[in-house]
Amino acid sequence: MVLTERGSIRTDLGAMRTVDTTCAYCGVGCGVRLHIDGRDQIVWVDDQPQNPSSQGMLCVKGRFGLTFVNHEDRLTKPLIRRNGVLEEATWDEALDYVADKFVEHRDSFAVLASAKATNEDGYVLQKLTRLLMGTNNIDHCTRLCHSPSVEAMLMQLGSGATSNSYEDYDNAGCLMVVGSDTSSNHPVIASRLRRTIDERGTKLIVVNPKRIDLCDYATYFLRPNPGTDVALFNGLAKAIIDEGLADSEFVNGRTQGFETWAESLKDYTTERVEHLTGVPAEDIRGAARLYARPPLGPLAPNPGGIRPLVSDQRPATSDFSYGGSCLIWGMGVTQHTCGTDNAHALLNLALVAGQLGRPGNGVSPLRGQNNVQGCGDAGCIPDNLPGYQGLGEANRTKFEQAWGSLLPCERGLRATEMFELAAEGGLECLYVTGENPLLSEPYIAHAEEAVEKLKFLVVQDIFLNETAQRADVVLPATSFAEKDGTFTNSERRVQRVRKAIEPVGESRPDWDITADLARRIARRLEMPVEQFGYEHPSQVFAEMASLTPILGGISYERLEALGEEGIQWPCPAPDHPGTKRLYTETFNVGPRAPFVPVEQGPPAAELPSRRFPLLLNTGRILYHWHGGTITTRARTLLARSPQLQIAVNPADAARFNIADGEDVVLYSKRGDLEGKASLTEAVRAGEVFVPFVKLQERNANFLTNAVYDPKSRIPEYKVCAVRIQKVGAPQTLRPGSGQAWRRGRREGGSAGHA
Partner 1 sequence: MSDGAASRVQVTIDGRSVSVPEGASLLDAVLAAGAHIPHLCKDDDQAAIGACRTCLVQVEGQRGFPASCYLPARDGMAVATRGEDLDRVRGTVLDLTAAMLDPGGRGAAHLAGELARYDVASRFERGAAHPSTLRQAQGSGRTGVDDSTPAFTLSHADCILCQRCVEGCQDVQHIGAIAVLGGGERAHIGAFLDQPLVESICTSCGTCVSVCPTGALYPRSNQQLAASD
C-beta neighbour count of 85 within 10 angstroms: 8
Reduce the DSSP state of residue 65 to 3 states and report it: coil
Shortest Cβ 46–partner 1 spacing (Å): 5
Shortest Cβ 217–partner 1 spacing (Å): 9
List % helix, strand, coil for the chain (3-state, nearest 5): 35, 20, 45
Shortest Cβ 316–partner 1 spacing (Å): 12
* Span near partner 1 by CB under 8 A; candidates 188-196, 258-266, 377-385, 536-544: 188-196
CB-nearer residue toward partner 1: 198 or 424: 198
CB-nearer residue toward partner 1: 11 or 252: 11
Q: Which of 68, 80, 117, 118 is nearest to 434 (CA)?
A: 117
Q: Binding of partner 1 at residue 2 (CB under 8 A)? A: yes
CB-nearer residue toward partner 1: 67 or 269: 67
User: Which element (helix H / strand E) includes 244?
Assistant: none
User: Which are the contacts of 1, defined by CB distance < 8 A and separation ≥ 6?
Assistant: 8, 9, 10, 11, 12
CB-nearer residue toward partner 1: 308 or 404: 308
# of chain residues touching partner 1 (CB under 8 A): 45
Q: Are residues 509 and 117 in contact, defined by beta-carbon separation less than 8 angstroms?
A: no
Q: CA–CA separation, 442 vs 72, rounded Å?
A: 29
**Size (the chain), residues:** 754
Q: Binding of partner 1 at residue 622 (CB under 8 A)? A: yes
Shortest Cβ 641–partner 1 spacing (Å): 9
Shortest Cβ 330–partner 1 spacing (Å): 18
Q: Return the residues of window 628-647 that contact partner 1 according to CB under 8 A.
A: 635-636, 639-640
Q: Please confirm whether the linkage preceding 570 is cis (ω < 30° from 0).
A: yes
CB-nearer residue toward partner 1: 31 or 485: 31
Shortest Cβ 668–partner 1 spacing (Å): 31
CB-nearer residue toward partner 1: 67 or 256: 67
Which of 3, 85, 316, 394 contacts partner 1 by CB under 8 A? 3
Q: Binding of partner 1 at residue 696 (CB under 8 A)? A: no
Q: Return the residues of window 272-331 that contact partner 1 according to CB under 8 A.
A: 303-307, 309-310, 313
CB-nearer residue toward partner 1: 582 or 622: 622
Write a three-state SS string for 126-142: HHHHHHHCCCCCEECCH
Shortest Cβ 295–partner 1 spacing (Å): 20
Q: Integer distance in angstroms from the first to the last C-alpha of the chain?
A: 69
Shortest Cβ 325–partner 1 spacing (Å): 20
CB-nearer residue toward partner 1: 60 or 155: 60
Q: Return the residues of window 462-521 that contact partner 1 according to CB under 8 A.
A: none
Q: Binding of partner 1 at residue 334 (CB under 8 A)? A: no
Q: CA–CA separation, 494 vs 534, rounded Å?
A: 20
CB-nearer residue toward partner 1: 28 or 418: 28
511 phi, psi to nearest 5 deg? -60, -35
| The CA-based dihedral angle spanning residues 534, 536, 542, 548, taken in that order and rounded to the nearest 10 degrees | 70
Which of 140, 194, 200, 670 contacts partner 1 by CB under 8 A? 194
Q: Are residues 226 and 705 in contact, defined by beta-carbon separation less than 8 angstroms?
A: no
Shortest Cβ 30–partner 1 spacing (Å): 11
CB-nearer residue toward partner 1: 56 or 148: 56
User: Which are the contacts of 597, defined by CB distance < 8 A and separation ≥ 6?
Assistant: 257, 260, 261, 264, 265
Sequence-separated contacts (24+) of 83-90 with Cβ below 8 Å: 86/464, 86/469, 86/471, 86/474
Shortest Cβ 312–partner 1 spacing (Å): 10
Q: Are residues 182 and 206 in contact, defined by beta-carbon separation less than 8 angstroms?
A: no
CB-nearer residue toward partner 1: 36 or 161: 36
CB-nearer residue toward partner 1: 41 or 269: 41
Q: Which of 488, 497, 629, 507 is nearest to 65 (CA)?
A: 629
CB-nearer residue toward partner 1: 42 or 666: 42
Q: Please calculate the CA angle 311-484-97 and round it to the nearest 5 degrees.
A: 150
Q: Are residues 454 and 423 in contact, defined by beta-carbon separation less than 8 angstroms?
A: no
Q: Return the residues of window 32-71 that contact partner 1 according to CB under 8 A.
A: 41, 43-47, 49, 56-60, 63-64, 67, 70
Shortest Cβ 267–partner 1 spacing (Å): 41
CB-nearer residue toward partner 1: 259 or 575: 575
CB-nearer residue toward partner 1: 319 or 448: 319
Q: Are residues 507 and 482 in contact, defined by beta-carbon separation less than 8 angstroms?
A: yes
271 φ/ψ sector (left φ>0, alpha ψ -120 to 50, else beta): alpha
Shortest Cβ 167–partner 1 spacing (Å): 16
560 φ/ψ sector (left φ>0, alpha ψ -120 to 50, else beta): alpha
Shortest Cβ 192–partner 1 spacing (Å): 8
* Span near partner 1 by CB under 8 A; candidates 2-10, 423-431, 515-523, 729-737: 2-10
List, in sequence order, the alpha helices (H) in 258-392. Answer: 258-264, 270-277, 281-292, 331-334, 339-352, 372-377
Q: Return the residues of window 66-105 that contact partner 1 according to CB under 8 A.
A: 67, 70
Q: Binding of partner 1 at residue 198 (CB under 8 A)? A: yes
Q: Binding of partner 1 at residue 556 (CB under 8 A)? A: no
* Span near partner 1 by CB under 8 A; candidates 194-202, 383-391, 532-540, 660-668: 194-202
Q: Please calculate the CA angle 92-95-97 and round it to the nearest 5 degrees.
A: 100
Shortest Cβ 595–partner 1 spacing (Å): 37
Binding mask 202-241 for partner 1 (x = CB under 8 A): -----------x----------------------------
Q: Binding of partner 1 at residue 530 (CB under 8 A)? A: no
- How far CA 289 is from CA of 7, 217, 219, 564, 688, in Å, comes to 45, 18, 12, 39, 32
Which of 159, 191, 337, 618 contacts partner 1 by CB under 8 A? 191
Got the DSSP string for 589-613?
TBSSEEP-------S-SS---SSS-
Q: CA–CA separation, 352 vs 108, rounded Å?
A: 46
Shortest Cβ 187–partner 1 spacing (Å): 7
Residues in touch with partner 1 (CB under 8 A): 2-7, 12-13, 41, 43-47, 49, 56-60, 63-64, 67, 70, 183, 187, 191, 194-195, 198, 213, 303-307, 309-310, 313, 622-623, 635-636, 639-640
